[in-house]
Amino acid sequence: MGGAVTAHLHIDSTSLVHRLPAHAKLLGLLALVLTVVAIPAGAWGPLAGAVILGAAVLASTRVPARHTLPRLLVDVPFVVFALALPFLARGEEIALGPLRLSAAGLVAGGTLLAKATTGALAGVAFAVTTRPQDLVLALQRLRVPDPLVLIVSFMVRYLSVVGDDLARMRVALVSRGFRPRSPAAWPVLAASAGALFIRTYERGERVHLAMVSRGYAGHLPAVEAPVTEPAHWATALLPTGCALLLLLWAVAP
Amino acid sequence: MSAPVVDVRGVSYAYPGGQPALRGLDLHVHPGERVALLGPNGAGKTTLVLHLNGILTPASGSVSISGLTVSRQSLPEIRRRVGIVFQDPDDQLFMPTVRDDVAFGPANLGLRGSELADRVHEAMTAVDVQALADRPPHHLSFGQRRRVAIATVLAMRPEILVLDEPSSNLDPASRRELADILESLEVTVLMVTHDLPYAAQLCERSVILSDGRVVADGATGLLLRNTDLMGAHRLELPYGFAVPPGPDVA
């Protein structure tokens, strides 16, 4: 319902990470993930270090685990895939009790698990400390093209509106005795999805009309960038620095 | 009489399917007036409103705002002069926070820095929403959103405020609060509405639009008491409502 999106991701607090400018955090996150991805497969020491680093970043937000753990469910598909890899991959096999596992699959799965988990930890740290509106501003400050910024901004703004539309349609269906229990209900669900699409499309047209009426001519008004102090950048890029050391450790002869 | 803020002369318009929406319409609104635009559904009220800021272009006739004719060249200035508040505030409020939204129009006009901040503050103060500045629009009540929508337009210092169904979906207290705010604004108002008591309360003059033409133009009290005229254009006062006596001169 209203505000569900923002309510689910961002947790208000005053930690150091919360106070960092969003664009510095976003760049820091991107640089960290790219660096961790560059760590070679099977470099277990550095990969374990990366996971600990990700956990440390998340811990530094001081957001209680009861808020962060549910958000880390985003990592589940990677965990499942990583666990499946040793059974699916071909090549040299090693015996582990009754199981026969692919050696290459074990290495690939373990590496994927470490990298994906690090990314999820850092991503959740960004999400819980950054308000959606700050994310939009951050993209704008990083000179992401206006149409992309607008798409993200409208998604942030209208997801709850569309969600409310959907909830009202569902209530209206249920109120008339509709029970989506069998494939016979699919045509009705498809029609609802179609109606929702048309409504959303029409709303898009009305929003555009309102924008044009207030002088919109294809460009967002420029945002005045607040001063980002060197200390902010240093803090935001600190995890990347640590990850670089891990990478060096992994590739050092 | 002073030069009209809105000067619509002989405007005709047909929708792409060929269905005529406006048929040689004339309308003048003078500075400081509050005018209600009444009429049944499909009379052409919204079509007329979209002509005022150049979203739609008349097939014939002309529209001028404070002496400036609406044309492709004059569009930016026309859109500053005509502030339209749409019916659904969710359509109007698309920025992440109230403050950003109120700043959107003046920023498009080129305002920056403290000048922009002053303008935003002025508009938010006029409709009493300063306390909501940093809230996302979807966290506000409907009445608050309607007031913020008005602020987004006031921030452009328009010469005429056009309101599309301002009282729709408001609870009685929000409806009254909005009326108080509208009465306190020193701006010319054109109000499209089906809410006839609201028109009687706020607008000294009313214009009835029917089938793309102006069929009546005069003091709101006089028009609303003329049951034959009203009935002929599918307009009815709510049950039990009588127009209070007041000045019958627009």
pLDDT of residue B244: 77
- A248 secondary structure, DSSP code: H
A98 or A6: which leads in pLDDT:
A98
Tens of pLDDT, residue by residue over B6-56, are: 999 999 999 888 889 999 999 999 999 999 999 999 999 999 999 999 989
pLDDT in tens, B65-91: 999 999 999 988 999 999 999 999 988
Mind listing the domains of chain B with CATH numbers?
A: 6-232 (3.40.50.300)
Asked if residue A64 belongs to a domain, the reply is yes
A128 and A70 within one domain: yes
Per-residue b or e along A22-43, where b marks 16 or more CB atoms closer than 10 Å to that residue's CB:
bbbbbbbbebbbebbeebebeb
Q: State whether A153 and A130 are in the same domain.
A: no
Q: Does pLDDT of A4 surpass 70?
A: no
State the Cα–Cα distance between residues B240 and B230, nearest whole angstrom: 16
Beta bridge partner(s), residue A101: A94
- DSSP state string for B51-76: HHTTSS--SEEEEEETTEEP-TTTHH
The band of A3, judged by pLDDT with boundaries at 50, 70 and 90, is: very low
Provide the mean pLDDT of chain A.
88
ipTM of the complex as predicted: 0.77
pLDDT for the residue numbered A98: 83
Q: Is A217 in the B-facing interface, judged by CB distances under 8 Å?
A: yes
Contact (CB, 8 A) for B1 and B30 = yes
User: Can you tell me the mean pLDDT for A32-39?
Assistant: 96
Rounded to a whole number, what is the distance in Å from the CA of A8 to chain B's nearest CA? 14
* Chosen from A10, A159, A213, A224 to mutate, greatest number of chain B CBs within 10 A: A213
Query: Residues 6 or more apart from B247 whose CB is under 8 A from it?
Result: B204, B219, B221
Domains in chain A: how many in total?
2
pLDDT at residue A6 tops 50: no
- Whether residue A149 sits in one domain with residue A76: no
Statement to judge: residues A125 and A243 lie in one domain: yes
Confidence label for A225 from pLDDT (cuts 50, 70 and 90): low
Instruction: Please name the member of B91, B100, B107 whose beta carbon is closest to the beta carbon of A206.
Output: B91
Whole-number Å distance between alpha carbons of B118 and B111: 10
Residue A51 sits in the same domain as residue A156: no
Confidence (pLDDT) at A95: 83
| Contact state of B105 with A154 under an 8 Å Cβ cutoff | no
pLDDT per position as a tens digit, A65-78: 898 999 999 999 99
Segment B98-103 shows an average pLDDT of 92
Q: Is A93 exposed, middle or buried (0-12, 13-18, 19+ CB in 10 A)?
A: middle
**Does some domain include residue A218?**
no
Assigned domain for A90 exists: yes
Residue of B nearest to A6 (CA): B136
Could B96 and A157 be called an inter-chain contact, meaning their C-beta atoms sit closer than 8 Å? yes
Looking at per-residue pLDDT, the higher value among B95 and B31 belongs to: B31
Measured between CA atoms, the residue of chain A closest to residue B85 is A210
**Residue A178 belongs to a domain:** yes
Answer yes or no: are the C-beta atoms of B6 and B160 closer than 8 Å: yes
CB contact under 8 A, A133 and B100: yes
Answer yes or no: do A201 and A233 share one domain.
Answer: no
In whole angstroms, what is the distance from residue B42 CA to residue B59 CA? 19
With a pLDDT cut of 70, the percent of chain A lying above it is 95
Q: Domain range holding A167?
A: 145-213
A246 and A209 both lie in a single domain: no
| Same domain membership, residue A233 and residue A152 | no
Mean pLDDT of A205-218: 90
Residues 6+ away with beta carbon under 8 Å from A163: A1, A2, A4, A5
Quick check: A211 contacting B, CB < 8 Å?
Answer: yes
For A44-97, the pLDDT digits (tens) are 999 999 999 999 999 999 999 898 999 999 999 999 999 999 888 888 888 888
Could you tell me which chain B residue has the CA closest to the CA of A203?
Answer: B91
If asked whether residues A25 and A103 sit together in one domain, one would say yes
Q: Are residues A232 and A114 in the same domain?
A: yes
Closest partner residue to B104 among A156, A206, A214, by Cβ?
A214
A78 and A167 share a domain? no
The pair of three-digit structure tokens given for residue B169, joined into one six-digit string: 């979906």
Residue A180 has pLDDT above 60, yes or no: yes
Is residue A3 domain-resident? no
| A interface test, pick of B70, B101, B114, B138 with most A CB neighbours within 10 Å | B138
Cα–Cα distance between B123 and B106 in angstroms, integer? 11
CA distances A223 to A158, B35, B73, B98, Å, are 22, 38, 27, 15
If asked whether residues A48 and A155 sit together in one domain, one would say no
With beta carbons less than 8 A apart as the criterion, state whether B237 and B194 touch. Answer: no
